[in-house]
Amino acid sequence: MPNIELEILKLLEDPLDGYTNLFDVQITANLKIQHDRVLRSTLQSISVTGYYPGYDNQQKEISLEVYADFKTILDFINRYKIVEVMDLEFITPELLLQHYQEGKGAVFCSVDSNYLYFRIENDAMFVSDYSKPERKIDKLLVGVEEFIEYTRKTSYLP
């Protein structure tokens, strides 16, 4: 494994905290812990999460985040063109939003007890609460208020 991969994995070693950059983007490694005779961990995925650009995260009953998951460290490195560990500082919420709009991520929104996940594919928007099959919705939601209002008014029905 090349050096940059090892350096990033070492940085993400703590599965609870991971790494948070200057833009408040959190990068975490999801590990599968195995305990035979030796305690070992295997990388399951890497998650990158940041607040939706323009969202004021001061309201406890509302959350709006944009995120992406990667199956391998190499997928993560290639997506963000990481050459050195300092490049993690250049992953911004705006970059996460751009990738989401390209169909390479998702938006999570929770309002009170409603929580929904949104993704884009082929210029269509899909919504899910992860407990039921996702469904296509009529329009592409854009901006903080549209996601919050949709989530507030929607009781997920397949």
pLDDT at residue 96 above 90? yes
Q: What is the DSSP letter of 25?
A: -
What total number of domains does the chain contain?
Answer: 1
Distance (Å, whole) CA 118 – CA 126: 6
Specify if 37 maps to a domain. Answer: yes
Strands 19-20 and 62-70, by their bridges, are unpaired
Convert the pLDDT of each residue in 7-59 to its tens digit: 888 888 765 678 999 999 999 887 665 556 655 556 678 899 999 999 988 87
Provide the pLDDT for residue 158. Answer: 47
Neighbours of 134 (CB within 10 A): 18
Q: With contact defined as beta carbons under 8 Å apart, do 3 and 9 qualify?
A: no
> Cα-Cα-Cα-Cα dihedral of 17, 23, 24, 28, to 10°?
-30
Domain interval for residue 85:
3-153
Q: Is 158 inside any structural domain? A: no
**Does 83 fall in a domain?**
yes
Q: Does some domain include residue 55? A: yes
Please give the share of the chain, as a percent, with pLDDT higher than 90.
59
How high is the pLDDT of residue 1? 47
- Rounded to the nearest 5°, which phi and psi values hold at 65? -135, 155
